[in-house]
Amino acid sequence: MLRYALQSLKARKAGFIGAFLALMCAAALVTACGGLLETGLRGEIGTERYSGTPVVVAADQNVHHVTKKKGKNKDKAKPLDERVWLPSVTRERIEAAPGVGAVVPEADFPAYVVGSNGRIFGGPDGKESSGHAWASAELTPFRIDKGTPPRTDHEIVIDRGLASRAGLAPGDKVTVQATGLPSTYTVAGIATTPGGDLKEQAAVFFSSDEARRLAGHLGQEAVIGVLPKEGVSTGELAKAVGKALGESSHEQVSTGGDRGRVEFLGAAKARGKLISMGGAIGAIGLLVAVLVVSGTFALSIQQRRREIALLRAVAATPRQVRRLIGREAACVGFAAGLLGAAAGLPLASWLHGKFVGFGTIPETLKLVRSPFPVLAAMAATLFAAWAAARISARRISRIRPAEAMSEAAIEGDRLPWGRLVAGGIALAGGVVLFVVLAALHTEPASMPVTYLAVLVISIGLALLGPLTAKGALAVLGVPLRLSRVAGYLAAHNARANAKRLAAVITPLTLLVGMSSTIIFVQTTLGNAAEHQVRGGVTADWVVDSTGPGVPGAVADRIRGLPGVRAVTEIVHTSVRTPGLDKYSVQGVTPRGLASTMDLKVTEGSLDRLGGHAVAVSDVVANSKGLHPGDTMKLLLGDGTPVTVSVVAVYKRGLGFGDLTTAHDLVAGHIDNPLSDSVLVAAGGGAKRDTVREQLAAVVRDFPGAVVTGSGRMADRQATTHEENAEVNYVAMGLIVAFTAIASVNTLAMSTADRSREFALLRLAGMTRRQVLRMLRLEALTVALTAIVLGTGTSSATLTSFSIGMTGEAAPAMSPMIYLTIVAAAAALALSATVLPGRITLRSNPTDTIAD
């Protein structure tokens, strides 16, 4: 049987090439996504700062939520976005442990060198720059290359990379923007590490007192490094430290590859992103593969009707034929899986590179290479092929052996009940997903549902394909008949072969639906957020920073200017609820907020904002059932628990944040306490131009700060969103490319099979040009049907998405992009039909008939 399957494959390469290509792409996709997924799950983040410290103690960065399920406690943990600091007493507990040679506490805060022209110098390639105490230089270890360590609070040591970028030498005076006012320091020395210059960051070392002052967090340490006594191994030391700290899970002892996680907090977020993205693309790719491949298999079975009828007549039971098809599928799946997985390895590197390029994941999070994704991809491809064969095998049972003797293979006319019911269920499932989607308010939750909805609807349309095709053709047939010969034939052909047409309409529909959904989900979201910000910023000017942020002193100076009515400092962070929900937060200066920002309050008032009184967006209010006067428990960015009371509910949450709190509530709990922006409103009858000039004069004293118009906030929102969207475009673009390949090969396969029909038409007197014209009309009919169906699917999905995310049924579809998608689909359909048609028509019609 296997031999027969192989022989049959060898002889019918053309018929299987479609399935083979689709499966190969799926395998490549799954391998690449598997690589990302695995990197997210167990990728190691190399440490740079703690290279010289075998054991690092840090606070637990996660919020834990314990739920009881079937008598078992289930601990769910989600990371916080800001660093959780350790109490300083932890030091003494560690010092008590045996084998400990030295305990080195580490402070960590943003610190940027400012050049003479106001230029801000960060790490290499725009990476971050952090300030530390020179006392903790040992952790890397840093050694003085030139100059001396800082001896006073006005001296600093910088790393050699930074020194060469900024052109600094020992003795130079330089401004440093850390967490407070920018101040001038003298460069006392330049330091290097045994590993050469820093690649992931820049380091600025202060005296211990100065570092403590700048870091804030009184009585707390960011990280504690532990160095062993001589002869004590890392394992022993870690064990001893763990024992000394007791069973409390609040402190975490890290060694080896785990240290990178302590150093780069952003990497945890990146892991989450990789896991969700890898999973989503892989799963959708696999589903698309099953859908497309079952289509190509169905087509190839249709084309082999006679052979199968012969087999059935002569010797083979229905089960044997099904098994044969199954084995063929398995062989195709195996070969495609092997090649695809091989192609997936470079694809994984490429994707990883793109993600690093977009800044979604840090470069330190290296791609994990293991055989698992390859094996998973091969298993998944085999499964997809098997599933597709199973799905199309139902047709085999309906091929009657007596057909072996009849001259023409005629398509069955009626759709079987099972398929109708399955199609109905899929469509109903899609509608359910729309309803679900309209009730989802967060991007990570609704994104996968969005793609799933498009897929489920497409599956429904595929199952009911012949019906949809007939319906569409009944409408399109009218204009087609205007063309006397080609159009007339095209319309009749289409109607008579609805099933074949359905097979090519399905992938094209998916292509149009998927690509427009992927793109317009982003524009819908981006437009809504941008729109809210543009409408919500009522201030006259925005003071922004090209560096780490705007210091509080700038805001204070601006407040003192005559003609300035209100100044609002804004910081952004996130909080979690004890139930692990994550909310974005803007911390704002409550005084005068009404004249700088309009959040569209629907309940309560922002007048009482301040202290522990906060405002929540309507999305949060609805999902938690909150009203003014209610209280809620929150964990601030660094894990500090607070109980806040709600004073207002507002509409513009998408643009400004889920929660709005007083600046003071959150500013002490974020890594970078500098303001992201400062809004300034003029008032009191002063001339705007005068105020603006004074504003500019104030800002001039602060490096990196710039005065811009009020539209700046919205522009920034748009840019940030664009950057996030790009990652999605790249990832989902792969799915689109995959679907395009699948559409093309289905179309080509379907056309190449019609050589006999074309030969007959030509013998009946049609010219080659007329046949091609007929083909073009057919292709356009197919494309048009697919465009209508795909557009319908995506606009329904986008509407539900838009209702859920923005509260309004307002999907934003850019006409230019939409037209591009439509044109691409039509071009794809035309070329994939006409090119094989041309090749088929090249042969002599009499020869074709004789074959």
Smallest distance, other proteins to C-beta of residue 36, A: 40
Using CB under 8 A, list all residues that contact other proteins.
Answer: 1, 4, 7-8, 10-12, 306-307, 310-320, 400-402, 404-405, 413-414
CB-neighbour burial class of residue 380 (10 A; exposed 0-12, middle 13-18, buried 19+): buried
Helix 712-752 to helix 266-303 angle (10° resolution) is 20
State which amino acid sits at residue 757.
Answer: E
Smallest distance, other proteins to C-beta of residue 418, A: 18
Distance, in Å, from the CA atom of 395 to the CA atom of 674, rounded to the nearest integer, reads 67
Smallest distance, other proteins to C-beta of residue 381, A: 24
Pick 310 or 431: Cβ nearer other proteins: 310
Pick 12 or 146: Cβ nearer other proteins: 12
State which amino acid sits at residue 346.
Answer: P
As a residue count, the chain comes to: 851
Pick 20 or 109: Cβ nearer other proteins: 20
Pick 405 or 432: Cβ nearer other proteins: 405
Beta-strand relationship, 72-79 and 62-69: antiparallel
Pick 314 or 764: Cβ nearer other proteins: 314
Smallest distance, other proteins to C-beta of residue 324, A: 9
Smallest distance, other proteins to C-beta of residue 446, A: 46
Smallest distance, other proteins to C-beta of residue 815, A: 46
Distance, in Å, from the CA atom of 460 to the CA atom of 454, rounded to the nearest integer, reads 10
**DSSP three-state, residue 640:** coil
Pick 397 or 631: Cβ nearer other proteins: 397
Pick 75 or 411: Cβ nearer other proteins: 411
Q: Please state, in angstroms and as integers, the Cα–Cα distance from residue 572 to each residue in 120, 130, 624, 655, 675, following that order.
A: 21, 19, 22, 12, 8
Smallest distance, other proteins to C-beta of residue 753, A: 15
Please list, residue by residue across 92-124, b when 16 or more beta carbons sit within 10 angstroms of its beta carbon and e when fewer do. ebbeebebbeebbbbbbbbbbbbeeeeebbbbe
Residues 6+ apart with CB under 8 A from 552: 180, 569, 673, 674, 675
Smallest distance, other proteins to C-beta of residue 850, A: 11
Pick 2 or 421: Cβ nearer other proteins: 2
Residues 6+ apart with CB under 8 A from 320: 1, 311
Pick 247 or 851: Cβ nearer other proteins: 851
Q: Which element (helix H / strand E) includes 3?
A: helix 2-11
**DSSP three-state, residue 649:** strand
Q: Which element (helix H / strand E) includes 65?
A: strand 62-69
Smallest distance, other proteins to C-beta of residue 498, A: 15
CB-neighbour burial class of residue 12 (10 A; exposed 0-12, middle 13-18, buried 19+): middle
Identify whether the C-beta of residue 101 lies closer than 8 Å to the C-beta of residue 228: yes
Q: What angle do CA 685, 691, 693 make, to 5 degrees?
A: 155
Tell me which DSSP letter residue 185 carries: E
Pick 311 or 647: Cβ nearer other proteins: 311
Residues 6+ apart with CB under 8 A from 786: 505, 508, 509, 511, 512, 825, 829
Smallest distance, other proteins to C-beta of residue 389, A: 18
Pick 13 or 842: Cβ nearer other proteins: 13
Q: Please state, in angstroms and as integers, the Cα–Cα distance from residue 349 to each residue in 285, 381, 439, 476, following that order.
A: 18, 21, 37, 46
Smallest distance, other proteins to C-beta of residue 395, A: 15
